[in-house]
Amino acid sequence: MNDVDLRPPVAPAPVNAHDTARSLWIRSSTEPGLSLHVRSHETDTDAPPVLFVHGATCGSRLYDIPVPGASWLKACRDAGFNAYALDVRGYGLSHSTVMDNQTTPYGRAADVIHDIDDVVEWIRSRHGIDRIALVGGSWGSVTSSLYVSGPGRDKIDRLVLYAPIYAERNADWIELLADPNDRQRFNPEFGAARLVTLEQTRQRWDTELPADAIDTWRDDTVLRTLMQTCFADDPDSRPHGPPAYRAPNGTLVDLWSCFRGTPLVAPERITCPTLLIRGSADTTSTRSDALALFDLLGSHVKRYVEIAHGSHFASAERNGWQIFDETNAFLTSASKSVR
């Protein structure tokens, strides 16, 4: 089992009274000096564990927004699970000196699956079980699928892919990521990481929301609190004006491949019970791409759920409770199924 240290190498910064997660640090098996941060809301040691893996923009904070009713981890715990969320290398509190000194995109999916495995191994050992449940969102659906179809094949018994991404051409994302001088290749100007601000996140989110009903879909307090927590986790966020936290760019290389129609995952190798769940207005995880992935899954038990009035960030919107309930119901029922 990888070493776990309850003493933080970098102390988490509580944002408010609802920021109550326990923090654990697990030593990386593949990057010297890297301590992987895990956010935890536990009920008891006998409850089944669930590990959440985040996407490309926010770290584990996305799953534990300290606003009443907005924490997916707390909803998972309240449903009778031990809920954990990982900051993969370079995100959140999993600070990387390698990323600090690198000039090329840092943190590809092929590297991140080792982070997932390090934490899965620790959870398996801690709970004395062979297999756990895994939830991966957005780019985290890619890394989680890659893990379950490879080194984690015999370690995961239930899989949830939230806002799943597989391999469908997406013109908007290609335009965003392409070299302006050669639209057929990834932009070489992307370095190890990029800066993420509140307004950038708001603008991206707003493009998927009805202009006359943004407040109906999203509570602005949730957005602001989410970003405040992300800023608090990055010690380099304050010197920037406006505040900005770093997000690794390795994910963008992976997404470049997916959004040009080249899959990173072999879905037929995923055989555990699997739920695909997405917001109906999501233009990053599209219905056609998610259903293509669904059809190719090797799972005998699989389900596709779509939440109306939900964007790519549906889990952090006013209808997020539906994401939580559908996931909890699947995890509970899937635990009784047989492959």
Residue 24 contacts residue 111 (beta carbons within 8 Å): no
Residue 339 confidence (pLDDT): 40
Which of 103, 107, 177, 167 is closest to 141 using CA atoms?
167
Q: Could you tell me the maximum CA-CA distance found in the chain, to the nearest angstrom?
A: 56
Residue at 145 is within a domain: yes
Residue 16 confidence (pLDDT): 80
Residue at 127 is within a domain: yes
What number of other Cβ atoms are within 10 A of residue 306's Cβ?
17
Write out the residue range of the structural domain in which residue 51 sits. 4-334
Residue 7 confidence (pLDDT): 47
Residue at 243 is within a domain: yes
Cα–Cα distance, 124 to 223 (Å, whole number): 33
Residue 9 confidence (pLDDT): 56
- Where do runs of H (alpha helix) occur along the chain? 72-78, 97-100, 109-127, 139-148, 171-177, 198-206, 214-217, 220-233, 250-258, 287-296, 320-334
Residue 100 confidence (pLDDT): 93
Backbone torsions φ then ψ of 92, nearest 5 degrees = 55, -125
Residue 328 contacts residue 135 (beta carbons within 8 Å): no
Residue 334 confidence (pLDDT): 66
Q: Coil, helix or strand for 198?
A: helix
pTM of this structure: 0.94
How many structural domains are present in the chain?
1
CATH code of the domain in which 277 resides: 3.40.50.1820
Residue at 339 is within a domain: no
Residue at 128 is within a domain: yes
Cα–Cα distance, 71 to 61 (Å, whole number): 9
What averages of pLDDT result for each successive group of 10 residues across the chain (339 residues)? 53 74 96 97 90 97 96 97 98 96 97 98 96 98 98 97 98 96 95 96 96 96 96 81 93 98 97 98 98 98 98 98 98 67
Residue at 91 is within a domain: yes
Cα–Cα distance, 7 to 276 (Å, whole number): 36
Q: Coil, helix or strand for 298?
A: coil
Cα–Cα distance, 278 to 286 (Å, whole number): 8
Which of 304, 300, 305 is closest to 273 using CA atoms?
300
Cα–Cα distance, 122 to 40 (Å, whole number): 13
Residue at 271 is within a domain: yes
Residue 13 confidence (pLDDT): 61
Residue 306 confidence (pLDDT): 98
Residue 241 confidence (pLDDT): 79
- Tokens representing residue 61 in the block: 């904070």
Helix (H) or strand (E) holding 223: helix 220-233
- Tokens representing residue 270 in the block: 């995923």
- Tokens representing residue 302 in the block: 């699989």
Residue at 141 is within a domain: yes
